[in-house]
Structure 1
Amino acid sequence: MVDSAADERRQEIASLAVSRFALRGFDGTSMNDLARHVGLSKAGIYHYFPSKEAILFEALLGYSERLLVTVLDAVDGGGEPSERLGRVVEAILYLYQDADAYHQAQINDLARLSESEQEVIRNNERQVDALMFVKSRE
């Protein structure tokens, strides 16, 4: 059984951390800084994540999955291609409203992740692209 409270806390830590990475840079953000920012001790952070890279991966993975689900929901509503495309654009713009930190982290720090982790994120991006440019025209 998955501990949903622990999972929610992990997501919260990742979200707060990515905002710190965007503000101070990945290298400029220490685990002590992250701990203070999220209201935990350094040991508390390590209870949830083994490294800063693991936090970054969790944040970028969660964001890329939310983006994918958002686009899937928008194109699955049926209707004319122009309607589906309109829903996709609206959904993405809504999601992008508060996503600057994720975009900065992805642009600046994706290469800090392992190749396999990078591939997971990129695969989600490719699926989003395919849905936007294929499904919305079907």
Structure 2
Amino acid sequence: MARIQAADYDAKRAAITAHAAHLFAARGFGGASIADLAAAGGFSKSLIYHYYAAKEDILYDAMRSHIDALLAVKDAVAASADPPETRLRKLARALLDHYVGASDSQKVLLYELNHLTAAQRDDIVTKQRAIVDFTQSLFTVIDRHASDRDALRVKVMLFYGMLNWTHNWFRPDGPIGRDRIADQAVDAILGDLGHPGT
């Protein structure tokens, strides 16, 4: 007979991954053990191993839930009928909006990718590439005269360089709101593409 899944199965997994993301962001993947995670979250080690076979699987789950949320942001913007410049601005704002509440997961995604298994890493990278490729498609439509795809890709990566590291310095109670910061990143790129932001 198949084993019946507990009603709070997903909630417990989410609690483990949330504590893991916080711990890995603070100490690094190599600096945090399963025992550390159990102590930080008030779990038993046996409970953690009930849900995950290895520490790498916890890391993967933390990354996967974060990148899937970012993919959902991309998909929502892609489904919009707005002009490409408007969609780019919406994308930047929505990504920063998500980053604000997920700084631990964002740090883990940026710094700990090499600790995944090859298959896990390929899955995360494929999803990251889908977001970057969509952004590049917006850039391409905005700058119809762009002929150097390599140079355009560099601009996309510079754009994400502006957005992805805001977790290091942005403060929600600071003088500049996240929407304005997102708009400034877009304006910088649109200006470089020959389309000054408004």
Name the TM-score, length of structure 1 as normaliser. 0.89
**Structure 1: tracts of 5 or more residues without a match:** none
Aligned residue in 2 for 1:5 = 8
Amino acid at match of 2:10: D
* Pairwise CA distance, 1:135: 4.7
* Pairwise CA distance, 1:116: 1.0
Instruction: Tell me how far apart the structure 2 counterparts of residues 11 and 72 of structure 1 sit (CA, whole Å).
Output: 23
Return the structure number with greater relative CO, CA threshold 8 A, min gap 6.
1
Matched, 1:23 2:26: yes
Aligned residue in 2 for 1:85 = 88
Q: Contact (CA 8 Å) 1:14, 1:56: kept in 2 or not?
A: yes
* Pairwise CA distance, 1:5: 2.4
Larger-Rg structure: 2
Instruction: Tell me how far apart the structure 2 counterparts of residues 77 and 2 of structure 1 sit (CA, whole Å).
Output: 38
Instruction: Tell me how far apart the structure 1 counterparts of residues 5 and 50 of structure 2 sit (CA, whole Å).
Output: 16
Q: Contact (CA 8 Å) 1:63, 1:102: kept in 2 or not?
A: yes
Q: Quick one: which of 49, 73, 77 aligns to 2:76?
A: 73
Q: Contact (CA 8 Å) 1:72, 1:131: kept in 2 or not?
A: no
| Deviation sequence 1:54-75 (CA, Å, 0-9, x none) | 1000001111111011111122
User: What is the count of residue pairs matched by the alignment?
Assistant: 138
* Pairwise CA distance, 1:96: 1.3
Name the TM-score, length of structure 2 as normaliser. 0.64
Moved more, 120-129 or 66-75: 66-75
**Structure 2: tracts of 5 or more residues without a match:** 143-198
**Post-superposition, which runs of at least 4 consecutive aligned residues in structure 1 deviate over 4 A?**
1-4
Aligned residue in 2 for 1:105 = 108
Q: CA RMSD in A?
A: 2.0
| Structure with the higher fraction of residues in helix conformation | 1
Instruction: Tell me how far apart the structure 2 counterparts of residues 81 and 4 of structure 1 sit (CA, whole Å).
Output: 43
Instruction: Tell me how far apart the structure 2 counterparts of residues 107 and 87 of structure 1 sit (CA, whole Å).
Output: 22
Matched, 1:60 2:63: yes
